[in-house]
A and B are shown apart, each in its own frame.
Chain A
Amino acid sequence: MLENVPVLSLIVWIPLLGALVTLLLPKHHSRLLRGFALLFTVIPLLLAVWLYASYEPVAGGGAFAEHGTWLSVPLNTEAGLQGTGVNVTSYRLVFDYRLGVDGLSLPLVLLTGVVAAMSVLASVHIRKRWKTYFSLFLLLETGMYGVFLARDLTLFFIFFELTLIPMFFLIGIWGYFGREKAANRFLLYNGLGSAIMLLAFLILIATLGFTVTETAGGAAISFGGDYETLLANLADPNAAAHASGAMFLSENLKWAAFVLLLIAFGIKLPIFPLHTWMLKVHAEAPPSVVMIHSGILLKMGVYGLVRFAAFLFPAQLASWATVIAILGVVNILYGAVLACVQKEFKLVLAYSSVSHMGIVLLGIASLNETGFEGAIYQAVSHGLISALMFLIVGSLYERTGTTKIDELGGLAKVVPFTAGILLTAGLASLGLPGLSGFVGEFLSLLGLFGSLKWLTAIGALGVLLAAVYVLRSVLAITYGPLPERFAGMKDARFVEALPMVVLTALIVLLGIYPSLLTDLMQHGFDGLLKELQTRVGG
């Protein structure tokens, strides 16, 4: 039914349309505004589900790809290519509008849809300036979908930056006491990350992004950020000669671009020691925004790392596999140990995010299909779990006014439902088999075990520590003596319970039926794996 409809474009732009519609609504009707926001997040979610249903892993996402030329900017031909003997008839810089989907991006698109819709429901706790909140929220959603679907470097960068501005406002206006500092730090760290990314992208466009079309009068050269062109030029051994040598990516420049990409996405992921900004955001942003931040934005780091650093530079990745695995282990242990001593529940969750993202790095460092699938699976699963966690944090904070672990306690007596969901989320987070957290961790560690046994073993320690910090904090909140002032507390309302149930159901579903996602990803890494085998020899 949707064969000739640009589904990907619809997914990306419907939230933006929603943002514009929201601007026209009256500003005091919070329910109306929330309803509209929900509508404009559910439509792309349904489209994403349809995409999931009709996606064929073997064929890839080619059927859905969209392509148009956005801009074609003339470059200077007069001074160009003098003395190279090539007669250049036209010389242009091309910005494409290119969307595409494959086994790598589809799980993350689904995750975005689910978490965004649940976050709109959780926004019931937002108390002021609803209209601005929801229009920024929808703008942010367009940015996130765009990041996962864009297949042109410049377009990807624009969407990546597009998430920055609304996020700054969302933290800075609706956050807790230290919100402005958190927003500034968010902006500067992520701004730095995207600047580094842009430098790497420009190097790639300037060296690999060329297309030469031979015409009767000479060659027409265009530069652009089309992802497929980059891959093709990288794989083409004659490309260097074709590009008259000087323009081509030298081995040193490859390394430079790879390291730049690693740092850029490492800030987003975050890799220790570039993580300090995300602790602040976890602690100071409103819970419904942290759901997005921890649930989706961090995954943009995972996605970028795999999509650009790994796919474009497999040789560099292979020779740095140990380095990345060590970074991963450091992340896992650092996050886990610090999560054990935090007094603030939100910071426990923040450090646990650092720890869980370390597992993603282990999966990437494994260089095999199991590991890559594990990395993406872990990203999706952690997205769901931390969204659920912060949903609960938001509901508890509304009732108790605190998220300090030692000020809470015995909540299972007054809010049994919420406490039960919290316990489930905790179990998922510590990797209990049967829940989604286990699958991602297991696949990542299994993937790495083949090549780096010792590091895998040390990394697995983190899983053990996860049990310590999760149980320590979750049990302290749900059991023990109930402070008197919480005696009259009411359990979750329907609008809070609904997203909790949905997220829990998905966590359980993915835990017992992992092939829902792994089937999807099965052929997503074929190209990369083939490259790894031919270039690095297995």
Chain B
Amino acid sequence: MEALQTLTWSDTRYLAPELALAVAAVLLALLDLILPRRASRDLIGWGALVGLLAAGVFVGWHIYDLQSAVDAGKEPIRNLLGGSYRVDDFGNLLKLVFLGATALIVLASLGTVKKAEVPIKGEFYYLLLPAVIGAMVMASSGDLITLFVGMELLSITSYVLVGVRKRSGASGEAAFKYVVTGGTASAFILYGMSFLYGVTGSTRLSDISGALGDALADYRALVYVAFFFMIVGFALKLALAPFHAWAPDVYQGAPTPATSFLAIVAKGAAFAMLYRIFIFLYRAFGSEGDQAAVREDLFLALAVLAAAAMIVGVAGALKQQNAKRLLALSGVANAGILLVPLTLEVNSLHSSMFSEFVYYLIAYVFMNAGAFAVLTAVSRSSGHEELSAFAGMYHRAPWTAAAMTALLCSLAGLPVTGGFFGKLFILFGAVQTKAYWLAAILLATTVASYYVYFSFIRQMYMRSGESDQAVAVPVPTGIVIWLCAAASVALGILPKPILDWIDGIFSLGADFLAR
């Protein structure tokens, strides 16, 4: 076994985004201590925003740097710490998504998170930063241990974020449920990883993929055990049906910005991890014989989970009256949709499944961040989070209602929005690989989801409200709502630049399969 490679000074520049966030988190924690008790904690929120933007700039620089490596004829990848940490464009793309989403969440909560509700407002803002670091580590790891460490960093901080409404019983209950299920998920994943280590003798993903083919001959059952344990763990983390039961409770109990963080960043990070691990199977297992059979079994398991998540998520949301629970179940269905590209055969002829995945993820970020921002503003003015809080929005806040309509169209996958094209590309991939059953389920659940998302529209445009009072939207929240609505529509009218961009910097061979 090769000696562990230590971190050198020159490596730190490839860790710049993560380090920037760590520094920002520490500074903001100190600032929170120093600031007088009565001073507004919004300052810390703005500070967090600056930290996120700085990290984003560093990631952008990495993308540029890797691109010039390609131009120089080298592999566009930087291996740190002996390959356990990989800076590649898959990671960079997802990091940008995570950072952008968190920035939107922070901006939306400035002005809507009230001290009466969240007594430890300062903590709320600076705890988001380590959580994002965790997500970024997950997107960048090349080693099972690194993956796990990133995941725990994300999980533990999100447990706190969920429970940050200290005085609310629901919040406490949600945090407790999240700790228990999150812990269970971690245990399953870790147990599966230990089997993987056992049969291959390494925790390095690239070594595992080299050794897995041989290991299969001797330890066929154990390989199945390893992957199925990990699949169950990921399904719990992603809230894929039938492992989704915690999601509505936790989403409902958590303060809305934290919910939106769970729905977007935590979910995206779990997907990053899933892709990192499962994509290696394509290289580990050949395309013939027993190896192909095992691979097909594993991907079939994922496809079944995706189908179940789409069906159960939408079916559960049909009669849902609570807006947050509804969005939680919609998140279950969307996790299923995001999983579809991974389950498709990569070596037959279809669009690069990562562009499909990343494109839909970007659309998902905007539609969800926007919808949660509207929900924050609406529930703040009506004092509850039931669907009926949206009643009469057409005259109480006509422009917000219009923006919400655009966001809902994107969620429902109606043209011309980002959600529409995201689903279209995923469907096209499914049809080209002849996975017609998955395409049919995706379509059927999409139709049923019209009913779900239009329940907001029915309230907004067809019911009169409990009061005629205008819905006050704080300026930062308003900016987020309009940014998200505009981005959702823009992604639908002109998806080309972003797809070209993804295609230009991301390459399956170089980013995933290169050692």
Contacts and interface: CB of A to CB of B under 8 A. Distances in A.
Interface string B355-387: 100000000000000000000000000000000
B346 interface: yes
A74 B499 contact: yes
B461 interface: yes
Contact of A187 (B425, B450, B503, B508): B450
Interface string B437-480: 00110011011101100100110011000000000000000000
A184 B346 CA distance: 39
A71 B427 contact: no
A184 B454 contact: yes
B443 A198 contact: yes
Interface residues of B, number: 45
A80 B348 CA distance: 6
B157 interface: no
A195 interface: yes
Contacts of B446: 191, 195
B461 A195 contact: no
A132 interface: yes
Given A75-B352, A78-B508, A187-B450, A198 B427 contact: yes
A465 interface: no
A188 B450 contact: yes
Interface string B485-505: 000000000111001100100
B409 interface: yes
Give chain A's interface secondary structure class: helix
A183 B503 CA distance: 41
B454 A168 contact: yes
Interface in A150-193: 154, 157-158, 161-162, 164-165, 168-169, 172-173, 179-180, 183-184, 187-188, 191-192
Nearest to A185: B451
Contacts of A168: 454, 457
Given A71-B496, A168-B454, A78 B352 contact: yes
A293 to B, nearest CB: 18
B118 interface: no
A82 B350 contact: no
Given A71-B495, A172-B462, A180-B458, A188 B444 contact: no
Nearest to A155: B415
Contacts of A82: 347
Contacts of B416: 158, 162
Contacts of A180: 458, 462
Interface in B338-355: 346-353, 355
A93 B351 CA distance: 8
B8 to A, nearest CB: 33
Contacts of B409: 165
Interface in B420-434: 420, 424-425, 427-428, 431-432
Interface in B387-425: 394, 409, 414-416, 420, 424-425
A168 B350 CA distance: 35
A164 B415 CA distance: 10
Interface size classification for chain A: 35 or more
Contacts of B496: 71-73
Contacts of A73: 351, 425, 495-496, 499-500
A161 B352 contact: no
Contacts of A302: none
B79 interface: no
A187 B427 contact: no
A206 B428 contact: yes
Interface string A199-241: 1001101100000000000000000000000000000000000
Given A72-B496, A202-B431, A188 B440 contact: no
A164 B420 CA distance: 14
A81 interface: yes
Contacts of B414: 161, 164-165
B450 A158 contact: no
B447 A191 contact: yes
Interface string A47-81: 00000000000000000000000011111101111
B461 A169 contact: yes
A36 B270 CA distance: 52
Given A192-B447, A247-B349, A173 B415 contact: no
Nearest to B444: A195
Interface of B: 346-353, 355, 394, 409, 414-416, 420, 424-425, 427-428, 431-432, 436, 439-440, 443-444, 446-448, 450-451, 454, 457-458, 461-462, 494-496, 499-500, 503, 507-509
27 contacts: A71-B496, A73-B495, A73-B496, A74-B355, A74-B499, A74-B500, A75-B350, A75-B351, A76-B351, A76-B352, A78-B352, A78-B508, A79-B349, A93-B428, A132-B394, A158-B415, A161-B415, A168-B457, A172-B461, A180-B458, A183-B462, A184-B451, A184-B454, A191-B446, A191-B447, A198-B427, A206-B432
Q: Shortest 8 CB-CB distances between A and B: which pairs? A: A76-B352, A74-B503, A195-B443, A191-B447, A75-B351, A202-B431, A158-B415, A206-B432
Interface of A: 71-76, 78-82, 93, 129, 132, 154, 157-158, 161-162, 164-165, 168-169, 172-173, 179-180, 183-184, 187-188, 191-192, 195-196, 198-199, 202-203, 205-206, 246-247
